Amino acid sequence: MFVTYNKVRMHDTDMAGILYFAKQFRYVHDALEDLIEKEGFNFHDLFNNSEFVFVIVHAEADYLSSVQVGDVLEIRVEVERLGNTSFTMAYEIFKADGVLMGKAKTVHVCLESKTRPKIPIPQSLKKIFQKYTRKAES
């Protein structure tokens, strides 16, 4: 599991002063970028100077508890499924008091960067994702 943190900013909230629900997707995508960069990849180069890209083809989220400006959130990231051309990321977001604020999943497909057909996930990335693959519960 990979863990990162994000602080709720004013621009992340709605008129009620609580986190705008769609911002949860920004937080989980930021967490994925943090994971990839921690493993030595430059996220910008990965998408602009690479023979492959991975795109999100499905996203879902559950908003379980409200948060406000200034709250620091812990985002836990795991690879739920690692296939040949796609992978599913699972995220849990916790408030500082340990309350589960939200859950999200994103499904990504690996594409060749120029003509965009599906291609196998490159071994360099697959090796990283294997480190964060959710262990089956016994």
What is the rounded CA–CA span in Å between residue 71 and residue 130? 31
Homologous superfamily (CATH) for 2-131: Hotdog Thioesterase (3.10.129.10)
Q: Which of 15-19, 90-94, 134-138 bottoms out in mean pLDDT, i.e. has the lowest?
A: 134-138
Output the six-digit token pair for 25. 């997707």
**Identified catalytic residue from 12, 14, 45, 62:** 14
What is the rounded CA–CA span in Å between residue 137 and residue 95? 25
Residues 40-62 as b/e (b if ≥16 CB within 10 A, e otherwise) read ebeeeebeeeeebbbeeeeeebe
Q: What is the pLDDT of residue 138?
A: 42
Active-site residue, 30 included: no
pLDDT confidence tier of residue 43, bands split at 50, 70 and 90: confident
Mean pLDDT of the chain: 92
